Structure 1
Amino acid sequence: MTRAHREMVRDRRVVGPMGLADPVATADRAHDGVAAPVGLRDGFHALPWNRLDLATLQPYWQRLADCASTPNPFFEPWYLRPALEAFDPGGSVMLLLLVADAKLVGLVPHHQANSYHARSIPNCAIWMHHNAFLGSPLVGAGHEADFWSNYLAWCDRTGARMLFLHLPQQPKYGELAAALDKVCKDQQRSLRTVMEQRRALLSSDLTAARYREEALTAKKRKELRRQYKRLGELGALELVRSRDGAQVDRWIADFLALEARGWKGNESSALSSNPETEHLFRSAIESAAQMGRLERLSLTLEGRPIAMLATFLAGRGAFSFKTAYDEDLARFSPGVQLQLANLDLLDDPAIDWCDSCAAQDHAMIDHIWRERREIVWQSVAIGRGPRRWVGEAWMKLEEWRWSRRK
């Protein structure tokens, strides 16, 4: 175990080789549907993820995710667990858990790094990877301030070399953001936004049909109709939408093959180009489908997928995860045709919004989805004395650099 691990594990409150004293939670521990496993007493717990009995923790973890004030499918167990298996087999990432009144009320993956954007600046951070598109912790409604207070206090007393806590891809607004701002102000901690993006969001009271009319010019709609008609001359077109687990293995195989035939395959950046990313995709899609947390949308030509989209469902929101299309048919805009069909999410009474998970100024989706979600990368001062002073200086410099790039 590394020195950093020894520091971080020092605060744990659990026993046993897997980090849990008892794999069974009694019914009378349940409260508001999110009981904590026996062995995790009230308090803040930090453990390497591979020393936790994740199978035992998973139902409590999932129920927390179901009632989190800010939905985040990328930190739900069916997604985060295979991500950790793929990208952190050595267990350097910690799972931080907050238990209050015998309830699991907070969870976030955390790690320590010796560099920050290629600079030798030791810091600790919420753990992310290239296929995670939101970094907000899972926190039960009403526990946001307690979570941030405990998280920051734990960072103060661990990882003495770490200069600040970095919080990547946080929603700029909402309960978590407001609580963090208040906690930092109350504790006189510096909180700096070191990067910000506005990415496409679908959120409107309009019907899907009306939204299409208002989002696209008459000329563009006419051109897309012409392209769709020409595409149909090549064979039978069918739009296939599913939210169950039927034939999900075939769907996964078709998606990976379709993506690999395009530019991502040529540049070795397709999901199937790397065994770790393929493992994550297969595991997450299969689990989400079986749980009813996935919508699969496909446009087929003579039964062959030519455009595909995977969308995660979380609370009353949704997240566009991955899309692919047949680049040999690019002149017919199959990807855009699929996104026009995807606007039917607006007619679903169970979904209030959908996060595109796309980069800012995305060439395609920004011209269809008119709303925006503001995402920020923030850093928080931790520790005391010289440690905090140096960290605050770096944070201020990063904030200034970002302001110059705007």
Structure 2
Amino acid sequence: MITSPTQLDSLPATSAADSRWLVQMREFPCETSPAMETAWRDLERRSLLRNPFLSPAFVFPQQPPPLVVGAPQLLTIINDQGRWLAAGLFERVRGTRQLPLPHLRAVRMQHAYKTGMLVDATHRQEVMDALWDFTHDQGLHGLAFPLLPIRSPLACLLAERCEREQLAVITDDLFERATVKVRDTGEDTGVSVRRAKSLRRGQRALQKHGELAMRFRSCSPHDLSAVEQFLYLEALGWKGNAQTALACQAAEAQAFREVALGLASRDRIRFAELVIENRVIASMCLLRSEADYYAFKIGWDPQFERGCPGFLLAHEIRQRINELPGCERIDSCAAAGSFLEHVWPDRKLMCTALFTTTRWGSIAARGTDWIRGQFRRWKAPAVEQPPTQSQESLGEMV
């Protein structure tokens, strides 16, 4: 029987999977130090897959509740020289709908739109060995990641390990997320004729108020105007009414200011702004992770809603994406059905992925997956349901 996810406090927190390495889980939030932050940043620089939502600049300011959800613990793998080789935020769960046995599940930070873990690219196989040994020592049967790109280097690395040991990989909640790449600059591929006409009408409507322009801005400790403008616009309209905007909670707004400053110190944040006569009417926050940028959130002034400022800003970003330093792609961070799908033509396949680490875990996951499939067919026999994917059907993933 699948129980509600709860923290397994009785399990030990450390394991010497390799005599040279220490695998450790500690409660999070935890006390931090400059040395810890430096080690984390160094790992982020060397990581197989860089994730802005696992950057210390993003995580540390969000330690106070309610900005962390779940029951998080920080998992680290550290070598005998004190160098971090892997890190991630997880919770220990007794069972979930994917696996009714104890396992680790990646914690999704509030306002984070991707999970995963940081893994040293040059020691990836050794990290997998240590991680597998740790789960065995702890009586854990798998690793689960919500909102994981299914074809990311991390997903492929974990899937390859499962394939080698003939263990199950289960993926649920598949959806395609809109993205835009540098190759899409200067053309409207994927934009329907109707949408293109709507964009032109919106542009003409906004130009009636004055000169219309789009710009990219950064921020610094001496100039937070782009941050404050973004917070203001994001709180207008439905987000403010629903109390879901960052500015609706003083703690969240302050945490975002600290995140912005931390990322700005390493040139990893930009704000795309749509401007009429020096008045900002729309702003999108972009977080940088090397060649990938992430559209964290967007806000616009509903006074100009007839001109579709959100659509127009997204379209202008597509046309001028090559002005972002080192950018190759922007991830929309949006759910399926977002308006960004109408103007950003590329897609990234996302999922909730479970990688089993033991035979019992593999058997239980496959059995649970089969039962859930039977239940779906019984519940809605007239509607063809997209099945979950097991290891055998992942194909391109490994």
When normalised by structure 1's length, the TM-score is 0.80
Summarize deviations over 1:338-382 as a string: whole Å, max 9, x none. Answer: 1122111145571111111111231x1111111111112112334
Q: Which residue of 2 aligns with 1:330?
A: 305
Please, which of 273, 276, 282 is the counterpart of residue 307 of structure 1?
A: 282
Following superposition, the deviation at residue 75 of structure 1 comes to 0.3
Alignment partners' CA distance in 1, 2:14 and 2:191: 57
Higher RCO (CA 8 Å, separation ≥ 6 residues): 2
Q: Which residue of 2 aligns with 1:149?
A: 129
Alignment partners' CA distance in 2, 1:116 and 1:54: 35
Query: Residue 296 of structure 1 contacts residue 308 of structure 1 at CA under 8 Å; is this kept in 2?
Result: yes
- Where 1:179 maps in the other structure, the secondary structure is helix
Please, which of 259, 263, 273 is the counterpart of residue 284 of structure 1?
A: 259
Q: Which residue of 2 aligns with 1:394?
A: 368
Alignment partners' CA distance in 2, 1:354 and 1:90: 26
Alignment partners' CA distance in 1, 2:243 and 2:98: 23
Query: Residue 171 of structure 1 contacts residue 376 of structure 1 at CA under 8 Å; is this kept in 2?
Result: yes
Q: Which residue of 2 aligns with 1:197?
A: 175
Alignment of 1:131-170 (within 5 A): 131-158=111-138, 160=139, 164-170=142-148
Alignment of 1:82-93 (within 5 A): 82-87=61-66, 92-93=71-72
Q: Which residue of 2 aligns with 1:179?
A: 157
Q: 1:51 to 1:227 in 2, by over 3 A?
A: closer
Q: 1:200 to 1:294 in 2, by over 3 A?
A: same
Q: Which residue of 1 aligns with 2:341?
A: 366
Following superposition, the deviation at residue 389 of structure 1 comes to 4.6
Q: 1:101 to 1:10 in 2, by over 3 A?
A: closer
Alignment of 1:67-86 (within 5 A): 67-86=46-65
Q: 1:187 to 1:255 in 2, by over 3 A?
A: same
Summarize deviations over 1:42-88 as a string: whole Å, max 9, x none. Answer: 33222223445343211121122123221210001001222333447
Alignment partners' CA distance in 1, 2:337 and 2:71: 34
Q: Which residue of 2 aligns with 1:58?
A: 37
When normalised by structure 2's length, the TM-score is 0.81
Opposite residue 172 of structure 1, the aligned amino acid is I
Opposite residue 105 of structure 1, the aligned amino acid is L
Query: Residue 74 of structure 1 contacts residue 134 of structure 1 at CA under 8 Å; is this kept in 2?
Result: yes
Alignment partners' CA distance in 2, 1:282 and 1:400: 48
Q: Identity of counterpart residues, as a percentage?
A: 20
Q: Which residue of 2 aligns with 1:105?
A: 85
Check if 1:250 corresponds to 2:254.
no
Summarize deviations over 1:229-279 as a string: whole Å, max 9, x none. Answer: 331222343433123426653333222222222101111222223345334
Following superposition, the deviation at residue 128 of structure 1 comes to 0.7
Alignment partners' CA distance in 1, 2:33 and 2:369: 35
Opposite residue 314 of structure 1, the aligned amino acid is S
Opposite residue 394 of structure 1, the aligned amino acid is T
Q: Which residue of 1 aligns with 2:166?
A: 188
Q: Which residue of 2 aligns with 1:357?
A: 333
Alignment partners' CA distance in 1, 2:237 and 2:254: 20
Provide the alpha-carbon RMSD of the alignment. Answer: 3.3
Alignment partners' CA distance in 2, 1:93 and 1:339: 34
Check if 1:235 corresponds to 2:210.
yes
Summarize deviations over 1:307-365 as a string: whole Å, max 9, x none. Answer: 00000111111111110111221110111121122111145571111111111231x11
Query: Residue 295 of structure 1 contacts residue 312 of structure 1 at CA under 8 Å; is this kept in 2?
Result: yes
Opposite residue 173 of structure 1, the aligned amino acid is R
- Where 2:335 maps in the other structure, the secondary structure is coil
Opposite residue 353 of structure 1, the aligned amino acid is R
Query: Residue 309 of structure 1 contacts residue 321 of structure 1 at CA under 8 Å; is this kept in 2?
Result: yes
Following superposition, the deviation at residue 137 of structure 1 comes to 1.0
Following superposition, the deviation at residue 92 of structure 1 comes to 4.3
Following superposition, the deviation at residue 195 of structure 1 comes to 2.3
Following superposition, the deviation at residue 152 of structure 1 comes to 3.2
Q: 1:240 to 1:104 in 2, by over 3 A?
A: same
Check if 1:9 corresponds to 2:13.
yes
Opposite residue 259 of structure 2, the aligned amino acid is A
Please, which of 258, 270, 286 is the counterpart of residue 295 of structure 1?
A: 270
Summarize deviations over 1:189-236 as a string: whole Å, max 9, x none. Answer: 221112211111112435x22x2x334356644542343233122234
Alignment partners' CA distance in 2, 1:223 and 1:394: 47
- Aligned residue pairs total 372
Query: Residue 43 of structure 1 contacts residue 100 of structure 1 at CA under 8 Å; is this kept in 2?
Result: yes
Alignment partners' CA distance in 2, 1:372 and 1:90: 28
- Where 1:85 maps in the other structure, the secondary structure is coil
